[in-house]
Amino acid sequence: MTNVNLPHLLAKKIGLDRRGVVYGLQLAFSAWLAFAIASFLHIPNPFWAAMPVFVVAQATRGLAFERGLYRVVGTALGALAGFGMIHFIQDAPYAALLMLALWVAVFAALTHLLYGVHSYAALMAGITAVVVVIPCMFAPEHYMQLALARVECTFIGVIMITLSSALLTPNADRDRFYLSVCEVAASACYLMGTTLKGVTKDGAGQEAEILQKISRLEASALAIMAGSRTAAKHKRVINAMIVSTIGLLATSRRLHTHNRPGQPIAPELGNLLLAISALTKEDAQQILSTQHMAEALALAQATDADLAQHLQRLLRGAKWLLTADQESARFVFRADAPMLAPATNWGLARQTGLLCGLITLVSASLAYVGGSFIGEMTALATAMFSLVLGSMIKPQIVAPFLLKGIIVGSIVAIGYRLAIFPHIHSTGLVVASILPFLLVGGMARASTMFAFPALDACMAFLLGSQAMLPARVVTAMDVVAESGSMIVAACIVAGGFILLPRRSDRHVHEATQTINRDLFRLINNSDRLGTEQWMARSVRQTLRLTSHLAQSSQRNSLAPAHLISALNFGYSIAQLHSLQEGWTPQTHAILQDLNAQLNTFTDEPNTLAATLMQYGRDVQQSEVAAALWSASEALVAGRDFFAYRPGISPNQS
């Protein structure tokens, strides 16, 4: 092994390629320049300027721009709130702390109610208020200077990383993403094609695979579609395609029950859909030609109106994404295009808001009573860590990395303050002394091996280094205690999430409850929950369930087939409501207690299925009878979902 190959092998070992090295240098020098500008402008606590760089920087340009924008918005909002709270510190300090705790609780909850990058603004609003208010408890006479310094440092850091991102960060490969969306839609067409031909094999397995792909695509869309108004239009089309793809899965399962041996439902349409399922970007013009689409849609309309509706949206959307066809554009941007409900999580929002608010109130109150800088650091770190981890769906996954990063960064900060900083007596030397640490931090952040803990290590080092002049007069024990306070805070918060993790089973239970609650609303027509709104909400919860079932102990109790059946049950209910005006007196007499019966679907799905089947035999109107039969079949197929209770197996329920 030669010395020439050693750096290359080391970089490969820690997951650094040429692009990673460039990214690491970008981070390091952007952070260093931000720190240098803040230092030479004599802004208090200039290390705050370097911290946004490591957080805002992203793998794609659009996401970096959006995070930078929302960091500025959140910081400005949090600073304004902090200005208002600190007026109460001298006269009513505990009232100010209570207001801070309430502010943190509200914005911690909003991180689970706002969609995508917007939630980052809520997170920063909470953190900035903490950073403004808690230090001012110990220096109320300088509150305005400290608060403004925090905002100025954020602006400097965001501007630096935004400029470097514009020059060095690549754009997202949106064309590849659009093709992936179309490929998933094509997979649903393949399943429908085999259903119509009566040759479906392992339909449940195909449904599970398609749902998992959609869940991953929808999650990755946040990063890929960020930072572009044009991409926002595409996102609307993709959301409509997601709803229609899952709708096509539900229709396929519903039509599958109509197949009879040797009598496929629509073999000709099945062949056309199998041809469409081979869609690629190169042959999109041919496969999605006007003639082929018109033929497929005409056959679909003759087979099932719902199938025709979903198929038209998928084909038009795919044609616009792959070929930018203007006729398709006019269709896909219509006002009645289906929407995907936002990824709000009210249960997790309440839990996170209460937890972060209490942690902030307790830690800040203890710090105020103690009256020491160590208490201030502990309170700051505890409140910030609880906000950061609380904003995540599964913080127990990230908590160990945060803990490792905080420990490493704090220890390095102790070494810097004890061995290097005492020998520095000018701003230029302070700026120069911090560069090697930022270079190491930037490379660690860019490596695949150390990326997660490196972020928190950089934050802990910058905060613990206290690299500024004039320096505070402290002893060696003070230095150790101040950095140690961050480690203690990390152990408390991260350890709590590790020992008491958020369970996927609870997320599964909440999602099933939401779907069933919306089905009740649909049955009783309460709050005028329309079919389109119900579909958008149910598809969102289906994706949420798909994501959590993989890590849940209940994954053997529920399956994608059960989720699809729940959609079909809702579709049948909506169909029965739409036909109600045309019911004959005989149908009214037979179905007079239909709603009362439907409201038992979570208690006795099998009994209700038998009742609906009997109604279907008695009713003379063919469309009403078909809707009743479809509802009965959906109940039988999805009985484990409707009767699902956490921790109870299907046999027990």
Quick: pLDDT tens for 455-485. Answer: 999 999 999 999 998 888 889 999 999 999 9
- Confidence band, pLDDT 50/70/90 cuts, at residue 650: very low
Assess contact for 513 and 541: CB atoms under 8 A.
Answer: no
Q: What is the pLDDT of residues 412-456, one digit of tens each?
A: 999 999 999 999 999 999 999 999 999 999 999 999 899 999 999
- In a domain, residue 338? The reply is no
pLDDT at 205 over 50: yes
Higher pLDDT, 178 or 335: 178
Assess contact for 364 and 97: CB atoms under 8 A.
Answer: yes
Give CA–CA dist 324/78, Å, rounded.
Answer: 42
pLDDT at 653 over 70: no
H or E stretch covering 512: helix 504-524
Across 439-459, b (16+ Cβ under 10 Å) vs e yields bbbbbbbbbeebebbbbbbbb
Q: What is the pLDDT of residues 484-541, one digit of tens each?
A: 999 999 999 999 999 988 887 787 888 888 888 888 888 887 556 666 777 788 888 8
Residues 138 and 186 both lie in one domain: no
| Long-range contacts at 612-619 (CB < 8 A, ≥ 24 apart) | 615/590, 615/591, 618/590, 619/586, 619/587, 619/590, 619/591
Give the distance, in angstroms, between the CA of residue 505 and the centroid of all CA atoms in the same chain: 18
Low-confidence winner among 38-52, 223-237, 274-288, 624-638 (lowest mean pLDDT): 223-237
- Confidence band, pLDDT 50/70/90 cuts, at residue 259: low
Residues 327 and 362 both lie in one domain: no
* DSSP assigned state of 226: T
- In a domain, residue 24? The reply is yes
Assess contact for 611 and 573: CB atoms under 8 A.
Answer: no
In this predicted structure, what is the pLDDT of residue 4? 52
Please, which residues have CB within 8 angstroms of residue 442's CB and are 6 or more apart in sequence?
23, 24, 25, 26, 27, 28, 29, 31
How many domains is the chain partitioned into structurally?
Answer: 3
Residues 524 and 632 both lie in one domain: yes
Average pLDDT of span 222-231: 78
Give CA–CA dist 24/107, Å, rounded.
Answer: 32
Three-state SS across 249-315?
HHHHHHHHCCCECCECCCHHHHHHHHHHCCCCCCCHHHHCCHHHHHHHHHHHHHHCHHHHHHHHHHH
In this predicted structure, what is the pLDDT of residue 527? 55
In this predicted structure, what is the pLDDT of residue 454? 94
Q: What is the pLDDT of residues 289-345, one digit of tens each?
A: 989 899 999 999 999 888 998 999 999 999 998 988 888 877 777 777 777 778 788
In this predicted structure, what is the pLDDT of residue 418? 95
Tokens 């913080």 locate to: 395
Residues 127 and 194 both lie in one domain: no
Residues 322 and 371 both lie in one domain: no
- In a domain, residue 42? The reply is yes
Higher pLDDT, 189 or 140: 189
Single-letter amino acid, residue 348: L
Tokens 């649903």 locate to: 188
Give the chain's length: 653
Distances (CA, A) of 430 to 36, 39, 275: 9, 8, 66
Candidate ranges 69-78, 207-216, 425-434, 499-508; pick with highest mean pLDDT: 425-434
Residues 354 and 485 both lie in one domain: yes
Instruction: Give the burial class of 369: count Cβ atoms within 10 A of its Cβ; 0-12 exposed, 13-18 middle, 19 or more buried.
Output: exposed
Average pLDDT of span 37-62: 90
Percent over 90 (pLDDT), the chain? 46
**Considering 479, 499, 519, which residue would you say is the last residue of a domain?**
499
Residues 167 and 207 both lie in one domain: no
Please, which residues have CB within 8 angstroms of residue 130's CB and are 6 or more apart in sequence?
78, 100, 104, 360, 380, 383, 384, 387
In this predicted structure, what is the pLDDT of residue 60? 81
Region of residue 592 (left: phi > 0; alpha: psi -120 to 50; beta: else)? alpha
Tokens 């990058």 locate to: 117
In this predicted structure, what is the pLDDT of residue 318? 92
Radius of gyration from C-alpha coordinates of the chain:
29
Alpha helices, DSSP H only, in 391-503? Answer: 395-415, 427-446, 451-465, 476-499
**DSSP character string of 93-106:** HHHHHHHHHHHHHH
- In a domain, residue 6? The reply is no
- In a domain, residue 9? The reply is no
pLDDT at 2 over 70: no
Q: ∠ CA 112-116-120 to the nearest 5 degrees?
A: 70
Candidate ranges 26-40, 120-134, 260-274, 548-562; pick with highest mean pLDDT: 26-40
Residues 128 and 180 both lie in one domain: no
CATH of the domain at 284: 1.20.58
Give CA–CA dist 194/375, Å, rounded.
Answer: 66
Q: What is the pLDDT of residues 190-201, one digit of tens each?
A: 999 999 998 888
Candidate ranges 218-227, 243-252, 524-533, 644-653; pick with highest mean pLDDT: 243-252
- In a domain, residue 652? The reply is no
Residues 382 and 482 both lie in one domain: yes
Give CA–CA dist 299/491, Å, rounded.
Answer: 63
Tokens 């006019």 locate to: 330
Give CA–CA dist 592/600, Å, rounded.
Answer: 15
Residues 249 and 326 both lie in one domain: yes
Across 474-492, b (16+ Cβ under 10 Å) vs e yields eeeeebbbbbbbbbbbbeb
In this predicted structure, what is the pLDDT of residue 652? 38
Residues 38 and 157 both lie in one domain: yes
- Confidence band, pLDDT 50/70/90 cuts, at residue 556: low
- In a domain, residue 623? The reply is yes
Average pLDDT of span 154-158: 90
Please, which residues have CB within 8 angstroms of residue 551's CB and are 6 or more apart in sequence?
394, 504
Distances (CA, A) of 488 to 306, 337, 459, 503: 58, 52, 15, 25
**Considering 499, 527, 559, which residue would you say is the last residue of a domain?**
499
In this predicted structure, what is the pLDDT of residue 1? 44
Indicate the average pLDDT of the chain. Answer: 87
Containing structural domain, residue 316: 174-332
- In a domain, residue 386? The reply is yes
**Considering 499, 527, 556, which residue would you say is the last residue of a domain?**
499
In this structure, how many other beta carbons lie within 10 angstroms of the beta carbon of residue 92? 12
Residues 212 and 167 both lie in one domain: no
